Amino acid sequence: MLLLKRKTIFTVITICISLLSLNSFSSSEIRIGVLAPRGELKALTQWSEFGKYMENKLGQPVKIVPLAPPDVVKAASNGNVDFVLSHPAHTLALIENHHATTIATLNKDSGPQFSGVIIAKSGSGIEKASDLRGKKVMSLEFNKAAGAYIFQTYHLKQQGIDVHKDFASLKEGKKQDDLVLAVRAGVIDAAFIRSGLLEAMEKEGKIKISDFIIVDKQTTPGFSLLHSTALYPEWYFSAISSVAKNMLEKAKSAVLDLPENSQAAKKAKIKGFVLPLPLDQMKAALKSLKISPYNS
């Protein structure tokens, strides 16, 4: 009889612990790390509605975590985020070094690809790649920023220009907006930024595109944004390795089902997401430049 009571008590305790664990999991916070090249406030403003959308779809609290470009891979490797929305160079580092899984590629009005832009001040006489020799240039973080360093560095390397040897100087900035304003002010001769930024800043009333020259200006059918380099896949939505498969599948369905006319899509200024695009071209650029995860 005593043995039976002990078994009954043990069973009840086990069930209670299981229920508590289940409740804890169902209410645990999902953290989505989002690249914030224009600053934390801008990222929160842009992606807060997406966080609410994902919270509704996943059935758990969701927190948007803005990440400066240098902090994206670090946040994933430290387990500070569950999902990451960032550019293809970060995505490859997450895949190769941290076994992340790509879920979807961002889709904008300009499509699921973007490019790098090299800008100079109007009237400066800097119009083509060779004009950059001996000039003062700024980018975002070396070896990490896709649309504001890697794309341009690879583009120029293909024309025989080494950005770390052939410029008078190449310095890092913290925000792309600041790089644009520095060029306009004549503080620097040229800057590397991502496609779409000039158009966004003009719409916000911060600049006039006519104040700038697009160095090595390209024309690509179907891509309307100003650009200097080849096109690469847009940002990827990825899951870090610790995310359970059922949660990964729920997240995949959620992002791929995001309606184009939803508040989340409108606020983020996107059309939604598409299935992950191939990363071959991005991988080729990183290998050529010996950039992580291909720097060994």
What pTM, to 2 d.p., does this model score?
0.85
Coil, strand or helix at 253: helix
- pLDDT recorded at residue 20: 39
Residue among 13, 21, 71, 12 nearest 43 (CA): 71
| Backbone φ, ψ for residue 274 (5° rounding) | -125, 170
Least trusted range by pLDDT, from 15-24, 165-174, 271-280: 15-24
Q: How confident is the model at residue 26 (pLDDT cuts 50, 70, 90)?
A: very low
Tell me the per-residue pLDDT of 275-289, one tens digit each, with 9 for 90 and over. Answer: 999 999 999 999 999
Residue type, 237: F
**Identical fold at 29-112+234-289 and 114-214?**
yes
Tell me the per-residue pLDDT of 194-230, one tens digit each, with 9 for 90 and over. Answer: 999 999 999 999 999 999 999 999 999 999 999 999 9
Tell me the per-residue pLDDT of 116-135, one tens digit each, with 9 for 90 and over. Answer: 999 999 999 999 999 999 99
Q: How confident is the model at residue 23 (pLDDT cuts 50, 70, 90)?
A: very low
| Domain spanning 114-214: CATH 3.40.190.10 | yes
Residue for token pair 């304003």: 181
CATH class for the region spanning 29-112+234-289: alpha beta
Residue spans of the domains in the chain: they are: 29-112+234-289, 114-214
- pLDDT recorded at residue 296: 74
The answer to whether residues 275 and 112 touch, using CB atoms and an 8 Å cutoff, is no
